[in-house]
Amino acid sequence: MLLIGVNRSPYTRRVAITLKAYGVIFEQRDLSGFANRAEVHASNPLGRIPALVLDSTLIDSGAIVDHLDEAYGGNQPLTPDAGTDRRAVLKVAALMMGACDKGLQAAYTRNHTPAEKIHQPWIDDCNAQVMNALAAVDAMVDPAQPYLLLGRLTQADVTAFVAERLARGIGLDTEARTPWLRALTRKLLEEPPFRSTEP
């Protein structure tokens, strides 16, 4: 099993954490969608990471995680199979992956647009959307609990972790604005699936 992508990408790291949490042995090829475009295109016609090479190649972190839940999750997949627990985890995952999307849009605009064409209100709006999503999850954190939902590790934790880290990476102050979420991500970083995938 081969994971293609760098763990600086929240999408790739989400998959790497999930693989580690399930104890799956895999290789990882640290390819960037920018620096290694031709090699990434060979696995994903969109030129995006991550891709997971099995007998065929899976693309998109959501689809890959869904496969891993089915193949390795047993009776406690990181995304529950059905019911209110499933919807609760999927809601957090959708918020956090949406926050990653908006954060990366802001970063790409700032870093890959000629200075005279940068529209700062667009960047500010993207960053506000990131912080609004993180704040919604911050309000769910119970500091007495080790995990966000269900009393165990779920995709809610994995996606909250990668989204909060991305937010800090693009200069948003999660320490001051989402302190409970920041504290949760610090705790999660002590666990091997999170620590071992640190870029």
User: Is the backbone peptide bond immediately before 50 cis, with ω within 30 degrees of 0?
Assistant: yes
Distance (Å) of CA 174 to CA 133, 138, 166, 193:
12, 10, 10, 22
Verify that 58 and 98 share a domain, yes or no: no
Q: Is 177 exposed, middle or buried (0-12, 13-18, 19+ CB in 10 A)?
A: middle
Verify that 91 and 67 share a domain, yes or no: no
The percentage of residues in the chain with a pLDDT greater than 70, rounded to a whole number, is 100
Q: Which of 41, 72, 103 is the last residue of a domain?
A: 72
Verify that 65 and 87 share a domain, yes or no: no
Verify that 23 and 117 share a domain, yes or no: no
Give the domain extent around 120: 83-191
Range name among 13-22, 23-32, 88-97, 147-156 with the lowest pLDDT average? 23-32
Q: What is the pLDDT of residues 109-166, one digit of tens each?
A: 988 899 899 999 999 999 999 999 999 999 999 999 999 999 999 999 999 999 999 9
pLDDT band, very low/low/confident/very high, at 34 (cuts 50, 70, 90): confident
Residue 138 included in any domain: yes
Residue 119 included in any domain: yes
Verify that 61 and 102 share a domain, yes or no: no
The percentage of residues in the chain with a pLDDT greater than 90, rounded to a whole number, is 85
| pLDDT reading at 192 higher than 90 | yes
Verify that 157 and 97 share a domain, yes or no: yes
Range name among 37-51, 129-143, 169-183 with the lowest pLDDT average? 37-51
Which CATH number is 120's domain given? 1.20.1050.10
Verify that 57 and 107 share a domain, yes or no: no
Verify that 115 and 47 share a domain, yes or no: no
Which CATH number is 67's domain given? 3.40.30.10
Q: What average pLDDT score do residues 174-190 get?
A: 98
Identify which has the larger pLDDT, 137 or 46: 137
Q: Say how many domains are in the chain.
A: 2
Q: What is the pLDDT of residues 142-153, one digit of tens each?
A: 999 999 999 999
Verify that 68 and 93 share a domain, yes or no: no
Name the nearest CA neighbour of 43 among 104, 2, 14: 2
